Structure 1
Amino acid sequence: MNKYLFFPIILILLLQSCHTAPEEVRDKTASGKPFKEKYFLDYDAIDYYFNDVDERHVGSLINNRHSSPIAFLKYVVIVGNAPQNIQDVSFIDKLESIGYRKSIIDSVMFPSIDSIFRTKEKGTDSAAMACIYVYRDILVFKREDKIVGTAKICFHCMAHQIQGVYANGRGFGGFEDYLELETLLHK
């Protein structure tokens, strides 16, 4: 008898935990102050780099990463964690030498990009995937010709590495963010 009573109690507790907070609570931060959206970066130019690297070559990038400085650079940029901070931008000048093509994002696209790279009050559906990240798309944000941020994006795995973020980064990385950004960049 007890095991039949246990299941409905657990089910009720689970359903109650899914209850949505009232609107007045959701419109405030943890400190109780009204939530204000913030853009991740203050920029006036964006350089866009794209590398159509074949996923079948990722294994060789990993295996050959110590064979030469350029092989190591390819590895840390395409599948690794470069840059690790906003001061670590020396790799940007070498992106074209490792297969990336550079283009300039037209400023008319900035409002759309701002709407993606901003804090969001409501949490987004996280899109973490179990796959090897291949960062084919890199955005380099500049202000007065100085690099203020970078964003490496893997659309296939829905993963990102963002550096130079002014805001806390909360809210980026939902399915909609990746779909909107991919549509903008791959027109």
Structure 2
Amino acid sequence: MKVILSLIFVVLFILGCTSNKEVKTENIETFSEPKNIVTYVGKNYFNFDNVELFNIDIDEEKVFDLWSKKERTRDEEIFIEIIGNHDIPKSISDISFLTKIKNLGYKKTTINDSKNEELKNIFRFKKNSIIDSFACPAIYRDILVFKLKEKIVGIAKICFSCRHHYIVGTKLNTEQFGQGGDYEKLYEILYNKQMLN
């Protein structure tokens, strides 16, 4: 009788171990990152028919050196305010902002009008199931100026490396801008290449 009970115990133990291993393997294979789902799409931030991109190619270290510099020139102060500040320009009527960025080395490019619909799909109110956030300081190398019939209707400062943004010209909430792959889509529209993570 002891032999039979021992055999049953060994068989159950082996079957139990095999079953657990299968479950563990199955769980590992089926685990995946949660998907970000756009749960609501609303109005566009602004209506536009023309977009200008102002871009500056500057190394992160150079910006950090300027930030940590104790005594800066007036131009360096303005540059730091524009490239790193979340509240400049304060409104779309701040035309001096555009003169400043041109004088500081930002290069202007007019985005092809054929990209406007794609841009409108990005620059609109959205709610997402997951919100990504990064804890690095923003360096706004890219500034988009949106116009309608030659009048400025919106300005967006974009930091692709930290996925930060500052948008003026809309009353809509822009907090979830760029989520769900929109930073990558925007980069591809502006530069005709994929964004490196």
Classify the TM-score, shorter chain: 0.7 to 0.9
**Which range moved further: 88-97 or 132-141?**
88-97
TM-score, normalised with respect to structure 1: 0.74
* Separation in 2, partners of 1:107, 1:65: 44
Give the secondary-structure state (helix, strand or coil) at the position aligned to 1:56: helix
Q: Identify the residue that residue 113 of structure 1 maps to in structure 2.
A: 119
* Separation in 2, partners of 1:144, 1:69: 34
Runs of 4+ in structure 1 deviating by more than 3 angstroms, as ranges, are 63-66
Q: Identify the residue that residue 103 of structure 1 maps to in structure 2.
A: 109
* Separation in 2, partners of 1:51, 1:143: 24
Count of aligned pairs between the two proteins? 153
Structure 2, gaps ≥5 residues long: 1-38, 193-197
Structure 1, gaps ≥5 residues long: 1-25, 28-35
Q: How much is the aligned-residue C-alpha RMSD, in angstroms?
A: 2.1
* Structure with the larger strand share: 2
- Judged with a 3 Å threshold, the aligned counterparts in structure 2 of structure 1 residues 84 and 128 are, in CA distance, closer, same or farther, namely farther
Quick check: 1:151 aligned with 2:163? no
What letter matches 1:108 in structure 2?
Answer: S
- Judged with a 3 Å threshold, the aligned counterparts in structure 2 of structure 1 residues 123 and 175 are, in CA distance, closer, same or farther, namely closer
What letter matches 1:186 in structure 2?
Answer: Y
Q: Identify the residue that residue 62 of structure 2 maps to in structure 1.
A: 57
Q: Identify the residue that residue 93 of structure 1 maps to in structure 2.
A: 99
TM-score, normalised with respect to structure 2: 0.70
- Judged with a 3 Å threshold, the aligned counterparts in structure 2 of structure 1 residues 65 and 146 are, in CA distance, closer, same or farther, namely farther
* Separation in 2, partners of 1:92, 1:124: 36
Structure exhibiting the larger radius of gyration computed from Cα positions: 2
- Judged with a 3 Å threshold, the aligned counterparts in structure 2 of structure 1 residues 76 and 184 are, in CA distance, closer, same or farther, namely same
* 8 Å CA contact retained: 2:67, 2:80: yes
Quick check: 1:84 aligned with 2:90? yes
Q: Identify the residue that residue 165 of structure 1 maps to in structure 2.
A: 170
- How far residue 172 of structure 1 moved from its aligned partner, in angstroms, is 1.6
* 8 Å CA contact retained: 1:47, 1:141: yes
* Separation in 1, partners of 2:138, 2:179: 16
2:144 is aligned, of 139, 145, 149, to 139
